[in-house]
Structure 1
């Protein structure tokens, strides 16, 4: 379906590209606000940023609702992986320190 607006026809494909671009911008730059990402995507497709925000809100409303227990399990796995990474980092730092203080063999 093509929507008619004062800036012309907007295809579903263009909407999907704009929404995808906003999501990619926010993934690549987590500190970027939703509004800023919508502004950037809107400039690229030649529409007002509110249009992109509305398209994004519509797309987000179609996503399945998150299951709390699944999210808690995912969070627990992430916390465990982070702790493992920290432990490996400590071991690596200790090994590097040990190697740097050892007299070199010639």
Structure 2
């Protein structure tokens, strides 16, 4: 089996490629299309560019399994319910103070 050699890409080029993908993603149909375009420009495989982009993104939710995601959703729902209750209390207090004046 032949040995594959991969071209080294400097961190500056990687960062520029990621920035270009982010900028192009809004203008094109998808992030994948943006990765392909940038990869062609700098002479690397599109998956390499896609990996660089993913490395800059928040990995916390991407790597959670289904059970962990359900726990996270439940926690966020509890926090949302608490915030909604706090908003109702604040609105009631504001309305009460307006009635007194």
Question: What TM-score does the superposition give when structure 1 sets the normalisation length?
Answer: 0.51
Aligned to 1:30: none
Matched residues, number: 73
1:58 aligns to 2:51 (yes or no): yes
- Offset, 1:12: 2.9
Aligned to 2:12: 13
- Seen in structure 2, the aligned counterparts of structure 1 residues 18 and 93 have a Cα distance that, compared at 3 Å, is farther
Query: Larger % of helix: which?
Result: 2
Unaligned ranges ≥5, structure 1: 3-10, 26-33, 39-47
Distance 2:16 2:73 in 1: 30
Unaligned ranges ≥5, structure 2: 1-7, 29-34, 40-45
Aligned to 2:3: none
Cα RMSD, aligned residues only: 3.3
After superposition, what is the alpha-carbon deviation per residue over 1:54-93, rounded to whole angstroms, capped at 9, x for unaligned?
41x22338x6733111111111111110010000000000
